[in-house]
A and B are shown apart, each in its own frame.
Chain A
Amino acid sequence: MASQAYDQPKLRGKRWWREVGWRHIVGIVAIAYCILPLLYVLSASLNPGGSLTGSNQLFRTVAAGNYTELADTNFGQWALNSLVIATVTALGTVLMGAAAAYAFSRFRFTGRRITLTGLLLVQMFPQVLTFVAIFLLLLSLGEVFPILGLNSRLALIAVYLGGALGVNTFLMYGFFNTVPKELDEAAKIDGASHAQIFFTIILRLVAPILAVVGLLSFITAYGEFVIARVVLQSQDNFTLAVGLYQWASDERNAPWGLFAAAAVLAAIPIIALFLFLQRFIVSGLTSGAVKG
Chain B
Amino acid sequence: MSNRDSAPSGTTRRRGASTDVEPRPNESHARKIGPGFLVKLVLVALVDALGVYGVFAASAVGHWGIVAFLVVALVVVNVVYFSRRMIPAKYLVPGLLFLLVYQLFVMLYTGYVSFTNYGDGHNSTKEDAIEAILLQNDRRVEDSPSLPLVVVRDGDALGFAVIEEDGDVAVGTAEQPLEVVDDAVVEDDTIVEVPGYDVLSFAQVVEVQREITDLRVPLSDDPNEGALRTQNGSVGFISRSFYVYDEAADTMTNTDTGAVYRPNDEGNFVNDEGQELTPGWRVAVGLDNYSAMFTDSRISGSFFQVVAWTFAFAGLSVLTTFGVGLFFAIVFNDPRIRGRKVYRSLLILPYAFPGFLAALVWRGMLNERFGFINEVLLGGASVPWLSDEWLARFSVLFVNTWLGFPYMFLICTGALQSIPGDVIESARMDGAGPLRIFRSMTLPLLLVSTAPLLISTFAFNFNNFTLIYMLTGGGPNFPDAPIPVGATDILISMVYSIAFEGGSRDYGLASAMSIMIFIVVGFISYLGFRRTRTLEEI
- What residues make up the interface of A, taking CB atoms closer than 8 Å to B? 1, 4, 8, 11, 19-20, 23-24, 26-27, 30-31, 33-35, 37-38, 40-41, 44, 51-53, 55-57, 95-97, 99-100, 102-104, 107, 109, 112, 115, 119-120, 122-137, 140-141, 143-145, 158-159, 161-166, 169, 183, 186-187, 190-196, 198, 200-201, 204-205, 207-208, 219, 222-223, 225-226, 230, 241, 244-245, 248-249, 251, 254, 256, 259-260, 263, 266-267, 270-271, 274-275, 278, 281-282, 285-286, 288, 290-292
> Inside 8 A of B411's CB, which chain A residues have their CB?
285-286
- Bound together, the chains give a CA A242 to CA B444 distance in angstroms of 42
Report yes or no: A31 in contact with B346, Cβ–Cβ below 8 A: yes
- Bound together, the chains give a CA A55 to CA B347 distance in angstroms of 24
Report yes or no: B466 in contact with A225, Cβ–Cβ below 8 A: yes
Q: Which of B231-239, B265-273, B360-368 contacts A (4 or more CB under 8 A)?
A: B360-368
User: B364: which of A99, A208, A256, A281 is its contact (CB, 8 Å)?
Assistant: A256
User: B358: which of A37, A198, A208 is its contact (CB, 8 Å)?
Assistant: A37
> Inside 8 A of B358's CB, which chain A residues have their CB?
37
Other A-B pairs beyond A198-B91, A200-B13, 12, CB < 8 Å: A41-B361, A96-B95, A103-B90, A109-B88, A124-B529, A129-B518, A132-B514, A144-B58, A169-B95, A191-B18, A245-B360, A274-B352
> Inside 8 A of B518's CB, which chain A residues have their CB?
125, 129
> Inside 8 A of B294's CB, which chain A residues have their CB?
none
Question: Is B479 part of the binding interface, using a Cβ–Cβ cutoff of 8 Å?
Answer: no
> Inside 8 A of B54's CB, which chain A residues have their CB?
144-145
Task: Name the residue of chain B whose CB is nearest to the CB of A180.
Answer: B3
- Bound together, the chains give a CA A290 to CA B15 distance in angstroms of 43
Report yes or no: A133 in contact with B106, Cβ–Cβ below 8 A: yes
- Bound together, the chains give a CA A19 to CA B434 distance in angstroms of 12
Write out, one digit per residue, whether chain B residues 495-510 have a CB within 8 A of any chain A CB (1) or not (0): 1100110000001001
> Inside 8 A of A123's CB, which chain B residues have their CB?
525
Report yes or no: A193 in contact with B36, Cβ–Cβ below 8 A: yes
Task: Name the residue of chain A whose CB is nearest to the CB of B511.
Answer: A132
Shortest B405–chain A CB gap in Å is 9
Question: Is B375 part of the binding interface, using a Cβ–Cβ cutoff of 8 Å?
Answer: yes
Write out, one digit per residue, whether chain B residues 449-475 have a CB within 8 A of any chain A CB (1) or not (0): 100110011001001011001100100
Report yes or no: B2 in contact with A35, Cβ–Cβ below 8 A: no
Report yes or no: A136 in contact with B507, Cβ–Cβ below 8 A: yes
Report yes or no: A40 in contact with B10, Cβ–Cβ below 8 A: no
Report yes or no: A223 in contact with B453, Cβ–Cβ below 8 A: no
- Bound together, the chains give a CA A270 to CA B352 distance in angstroms of 7
The 6 closest A-B pairs by CB, nearest first: A162-B102, A193-B29, A191-B21, A274-B352, A96-B95, A124-B525
Shortest A229–chain B CB gap in Å is 9
> Inside 8 A of B465's CB, which chain A residues have their CB?
128, 225-226
Interface residue ranges of B396-439 to A (CB < 8 Å)? 402-404, 406-407, 410-411, 414
Shortest B95–chain A CB gap in Å is 4
- Bound together, the chains give a CA A224 to CA B349 distance in angstroms of 19
> Inside 8 A of A270's CB, which chain B residues have their CB?
352-354
Shortest B389–chain A CB gap in Å is 18
- Bound together, the chains give a CA A125 to CA B522 distance in angstroms of 6
Report yes or no: B347 in contact with A127, Cβ–Cβ below 8 A: no
User: A124: which of B61, B331, B360, B521 is its contact (CB, 8 Å)?
Assistant: B521
Report yes or no: A263 in contact with B88, Cβ–Cβ below 8 A: no
20 A-B pairs whose Cβ atoms sit less than 8 Å apart in the complex:
A23-B331, A34-B402, A37-B350, A38-B350, A96-B95, A129-B521, A130-B109, A133-B107, A162-B103, A191-B17, A196-B17, A201-B6, A204-B6, A223-B356, A225-B356, A226-B492, A267-B354, A286-B411, A286-B453, A292-B355
Given A132-B507, A285-B411 in contact, is the A20-B352 Cβ separation under 8 Å? no
Task: Name the residue of chain B whose CB is nearest to the CB of A10.
Answer: B336
Q: Which residue, of B10, B510, B517, has the highest number of chain A Cβ atoms within 10 A?
A: B10
Shortest B451–chain A CB gap in Å is 12
Shortest A252–chain B CB gap in Å is 10
Report yes or no: A226 in contact with B469, Cβ–Cβ below 8 A: yes
> Inside 8 A of A131's CB, which chain B residues have their CB?
495-496, 499
Interface residue ranges of B218-274 to A (CB < 8 Å)? none
Report yes or no: B367 in contact with A52, Cβ–Cβ below 8 A: yes
Report yes or no: A135 in contact with B499, Cβ–Cβ below 8 A: yes
Question: Is B390 part of the binding interface, using a Cβ–Cβ cutoff of 8 Å?
Answer: no
- Bound together, the chains give a CA A134 to CA B514 distance in angstroms of 12
> Inside 8 A of A11's CB, which chain B residues have their CB?
336
Query: How many B residues face the partner with a CB closer than 8 A?
Result: 114
Interface residue ranges of B338-389 to A (CB < 8 Å)? 343, 345-358, 360-365, 367, 370-372, 375-376
Question: Is B287 part of the binding interface, using a Cβ–Cβ cutoff of 8 Å?
Answer: no
- What residues make up the interface of B, taking CB atoms closer than 8 Å to A? 2-3, 6, 9-10, 13-15, 17-18, 21, 29, 32, 36, 50, 54, 57-58, 61, 63, 66, 87-92, 94-96, 98-99, 101-107, 109-110, 113, 118, 328, 331-332, 334-337, 343, 345-358, 360-365, 367, 370-372, 375-376, 402-404, 406-407, 410-411, 414, 449, 452-453, 456-457, 460, 463, 465-466, 469-470, 473, 492, 495-496, 499-500, 507, 510-511, 514, 517-518, 521-522, 525-526, 529, 532
Report yes or no: B356 in contact with A244, Cβ–Cβ below 8 A: yes
User: B106: which of A51, A134, A248, A275 is its contact (CB, 8 Å)?
Assistant: A134
Report yes or no: B414 in contact with A133, Cβ–Cβ below 8 A: no
Report yes or no: B103 in contact with A99, Cβ–Cβ below 8 A: no
> Inside 8 A of B2's CB, which chain A residues have their CB?
204-205, 207-208
Report yes or no: B10 in contact with A187, Cβ–Cβ below 8 A: yes
Report yes or no: A4 in contact with B353, Cβ–Cβ below 8 A: no
Report yes or no: B375 in contact with A56, Cβ–Cβ below 8 A: yes
Report yes or no: B355 in contact with A55, Cβ–Cβ below 8 A: no
Report yes or no: A134 in contact with B334, Cβ–Cβ below 8 A: no
Report yes or no: A245 in contact with B87, Cβ–Cβ below 8 A: no
> Inside 8 A of A38's CB, which chain B residues have their CB?
349-350, 353
> Inside 8 A of B495's CB, which chain A residues have their CB?
131-132
> Inside 8 A of A165's CB, which chain B residues have their CB?
95-96, 98-99
> Inside 8 A of A161's CB, which chain B residues have their CB?
98, 102
Shortest A233–chain B CB gap in Å is 11
Shortest A37–chain B CB gap in Å is 5
Report yes or no: B353 in contact with A267, Cβ–Cβ below 8 A: yes
- Bound together, the chains give a CA A34 to CA B94 distance in angstroms of 43
- Bound together, the chains give a CA A44 to CA B496 distance in angstroms of 32
Task: Name the residue of chain B whose CB is nearest to the CB of A193.
Answer: B29
User: A34: which of B15, B347, B452 is its contact (CB, 8 Å)?
Assistant: B347
Task: Name the residue of chain B whose CB is nearest to the CB of A106.
Answer: B88
Given A122-B99, A128-B463 in contact, is the A278-B348 Cβ separation under 8 Å? yes
Shortest B244–chain A CB gap in Å is 29
- Bound together, the chains give a CA A19 to CA B370 distance in angstroms of 42
User: B66: which of A20, A141, A164, A292 is its contact (CB, 8 Å)?
Assistant: A141
